[in-house]
């Protein structure tokens, strides 16, 4: 911007002297430069009243713009961390525009996996991480806020007051507990998902305000044991990808998304199987109660959802048809 302003003043001066005083292009440029620099040289040729008034305006505007430009360019050239500061400012501006986004605290194995999944679903998110090496490695792929997630100011920088979810994946249960407490105080409506390493920490995290508590080690152990007991069933479940993009087999759809279909009082009225090829395998009532394999005559209630199953092309057809 500083360079553009200087070039704009130069162009303004050259055109002014060229057409107001009938200077040659070289003389117009020379006159503009000595006027901007305020060196006190004499005019190339006498100026009439119009050209003198133009020169006054050029001097006033160039003094402010030249002073501003020199300070900005000098700071940029001499500043050691100028590029890093520009990057941080750019990231800060992007975060300020986010709303209903997700905040991921910690970018370890679980945080990285959560970020990749959210990116596949095109869900906006911000990562809070204090390790500079990790931030420098992934800063071109994700939005980062550098700092400790236990610091309220850092969470505020991540836009916690506008966020919809926060996922805390720190390796220490006590650290996750502090993040949950802070997040609940800063945003009462926030959905909080926390990692836990110890079984005894689950109840404490829920009491602190976590809506969901996940134990990655327990999930991994259950999955491996299930591969022994029901290998084909678990392998089939693994094929039901929810990675996002072109590989999705499952979709969660709010009843309100079917409003264009007119009056839909039951699952039968939706008739998704005929329209899209997808099959409804679950129903979530407004009270959060799950119904597996619901009957076709099950009445639909406001603020409820359906879980549909289909091949990737069928899911895409569903999303396109109902603008999901």
Domain ranges of the chain: 2-78, 97-219, 245-321
Q: Is there a common fold for 97-219 and 245-321?
A: no
Give the Cα separation of 203 and 200 in Å (integer): 7
Give the Cα separation of 27 and 49 in Å (integer): 19
What is the number of residues in the chain? 324
CATH T-level fold of 97-219: Rossmann fold (3.40.50)
| Region of residue 180 (left: phi > 0; alpha: psi -120 to 50; beta: else) | alpha
Residue 149, pLDDT score? 93
Residue 242, pLDDT score? 55
Give the Cα separation of 48 and 25 in Å (integer): 18
Residue 80, pLDDT score? 57
Residue 1, pLDDT score? 86
Residues 196-218: b if buried by 16+ CB within 10 A, e if exposed: beeeebbebbbebbbeebbbeee
With a cut of 90, say whether residue 20 has pLDDT above it: no
CB 315 within 8 A of CB 249: yes
Burial class of residue 51 in the structure, from the number of CB atoms within 10 Å of its CB (0-12 exposed, 13-18 middle, 19+ buried) = buried
Model confidence at 163, in pLDDT bands (50, 70, 90)? very high
Residue 79: partners with Cβ closer than 8 Å, 6 or more residues away: 85
pTM over the 0.75 mark: no
C-beta neighbour count of 318 within 10 angstroms: 20
Tell me what percent of the residues of the chain surpass a pLDDT of 90. Answer: 39
- Per mean pLDDT, which of 16-20, 85-89, 177-181 is the most reliable? 177-181
Segment 50-109, tens digit of pLDDT: 888 888 888 888 888 888 888 887 777 766 556 677 778 888 889 999 999 999 999 999
Give the Cα separation of 31 and 13 in Å (integer): 8
> Position of tokens 């499952």?
250
**How open is the CA angle 154-181-192, to the nearest 5 degrees?**
85
Picking from 8-12, 55-59, 159-163, which range would have the lowest pLDDT averaged per residue?
A: 55-59
Residue 262, pLDDT score? 62
DSSP letter at 260 equals G
With a cut of 90, say whether residue 283 has pLDDT above it: yes
Residue 43, pLDDT score? 78
Q: What is the mean pLDDT of residues 134-155?
A: 91
Closest CA to 190 of 99, 306, 324: 99
With a cut of 60, say whether residue 166 has pLDDT above it: yes
Residue 274: partners with Cβ closer than 8 Å, 6 or more residues away: none
Segment 241-256, tens digit of pLDDT: 555 556 678 888 888 8
With a cut of 70, say whether residue 24 has pLDDT above it: yes
Residue 247: partners with Cβ closer than 8 Å, 6 or more residues away: 241, 312
Give the Cα separation of 58 and 50 in Å (integer): 12
Local structure of 310: helix, strand or coil: coil
CATH T-level fold of 245-321: Alpha-Beta Plaits (3.30.70)
CATH architecture of 2-78: Orthogonal Bundle (1.10)
C-beta neighbour count of 242 within 10 angstroms: 13
């Amino acid at each position: 911007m500083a360079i553009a302003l200087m070039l704009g003043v130069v162009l303004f001066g050259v055109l002014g002297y060229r057409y107001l005083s009938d200077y040659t292009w070289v003389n117009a440029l020379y006159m503009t430069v000595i006027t901007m620099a305020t060196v006190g040289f004499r005019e190339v040729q006498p100026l009439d009243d119009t050209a003198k008034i133009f020169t006054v305006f050029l001097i006033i505007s160039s003094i402010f713009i030249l002073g501003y430009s020199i300070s900005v360019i000098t700071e940029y050239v001499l500043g050691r961390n100028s590029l890093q500061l520009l990057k941080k400012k750019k990231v800060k501006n992007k975060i300020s525009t986010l709303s209903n986004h997700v905040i991921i605290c910690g970018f370890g194995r679980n945080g990285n996996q959560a970020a990749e999944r959210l990116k596949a679903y095109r869900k906006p998110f911000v990562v809070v991480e204090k390790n500079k090496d990790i931030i420098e490695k992934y800063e071109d792929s994700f939005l980062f806020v550098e700092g400790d997630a236990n610091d309220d100011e850092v969470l505020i920088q991540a836009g916690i007051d506008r966020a919809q979810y926060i996922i805390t994946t720190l390796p220490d249960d006590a650290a996750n507990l502090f993040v949950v407490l802070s997040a609940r105080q800063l945003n009462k409506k926030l959905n909080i998902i926390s990692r836990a390493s110890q079984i005894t920490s689950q109840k404490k995290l829920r009491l602190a305000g976590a809506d969901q508590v996940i134990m990655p080690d327990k999930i991994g152990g259950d999955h491996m044991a299930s591969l022994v007991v029901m290998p084909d069933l678990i392998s089939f479940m693994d094929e039901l990808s929810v990675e996002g993009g072109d590989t999705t087999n499952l979709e969660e759809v709010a009843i309100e998304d079917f409003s264009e279909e007119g009056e839909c009082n039951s699952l039968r009225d939706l008739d998704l199987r005929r329209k899209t090829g997808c099959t409804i395998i679950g129903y979530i009532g407004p009270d959060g109660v799950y119904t597996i394999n619901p009957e076709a005559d099950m009445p639909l209630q406001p603020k409820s959802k359906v879980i549909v199953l289909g091949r990737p092309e069928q899911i895409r057809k569903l999303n396109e048809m109902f603008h999901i």
